[in-house]
Amino acid sequence: MENHWQVVRAGQIMVSDTPEEMWEQACAYFEWSDNNPLSVPRTMNAGFMAGKELKEKMIRPYSMKAFCLHCGISEDYVRDLLNMKDSNSLYYMVIERIKMIIHIQNTELATVGVYNPAFVAKLLESDLNNRPIEKLTIEVVHGLPELSNSEMEILEKVNLEKGMKQDSDE
C-alpha cells in the first residue's frame, strides 16, 4: 500500500499544462485511491478470533487536497480556476467535474455508513465554500453512574436494590 507522501516522493506527479491533462491526472488520482485502500486495525470482539487484531481494508476517500497533491498544484490555483469569470472555460469545467466526483463518492459512502456522515458533511461544506473546517466542541459529562464490569456485578446491584426496596416496604 502506498501513501500520498510516497507518491509525491517517487516523483509520480506532473503539473498539467492543459485541461485535458488535468482531467487525466484526476482520473489517475481516483484510480490510485481506489487501488490503495486504507488499512484500519480492528480488534475482533467475538468468536474464535476474539481479541485478535486484523487489518480491515477501507475505501480511501477522495479529497480536493489529495487531488491537488497528486497533480502538483495548489488549492489556491484550483480556487483561481473556479473564480474565473468564464464558466465555459475547459479548466473550470474540469475542476467542477472533479469536485462533483469527490462530492458524490464521499456522500454515497457516508450514506451507506462507510464514512462518518457528520464528518463528511462538514468536510464537503468546507470544500464547497472554500472555508476552513470549524472547530468541533466536545462536552464532557460528569456524574454518570459507574459501569459494571461483569454480569455478576449487575445481578448483585439488582439484588441489592431489590433488598433495599423490600426493607422500605416493610
Q: Is residue 169 part of a domain?
A: no
pLDDT, averaged across the chain: 79
Q: Is residue 155 part of a domain?
A: no
Rounded to two decimals, what is the model's pTM?
Answer: 0.64
Domain with 68, as residue range(s), is: 4-129
pLDDT digits (tens, 9 = 90+) for 64-121: 999 998 888 888 888 888 887 676 788 889 999 999 999 899 888 888 888 888 888 7
Residue 39 is placed in which grid cell? 488499512
Residue 31, domain CATH:
1.10.132.80
Query: Dihedral, CA atoms, 72, 23, 16, 28, nearest 10 degrees?
Result: 50
pLDDT, average across residues 2-14: 71
Residue 26: band (very low, low, confident or very high) from pLDDT cuts 50, 70, 90: very high
* Residue 164 within any structural domain of the chain: no
Question: How many folded domains does the chain comprise?
Answer: 1
With cut-offs at 50, 70 and 90, classify the pLDDT of residue 138.
Answer: low
Report the 10 Å Cβ neighbour count for 26: 21
If we measure between CA atoms, which residue out of 139, 138, 157 comes closest to residue 147?
157
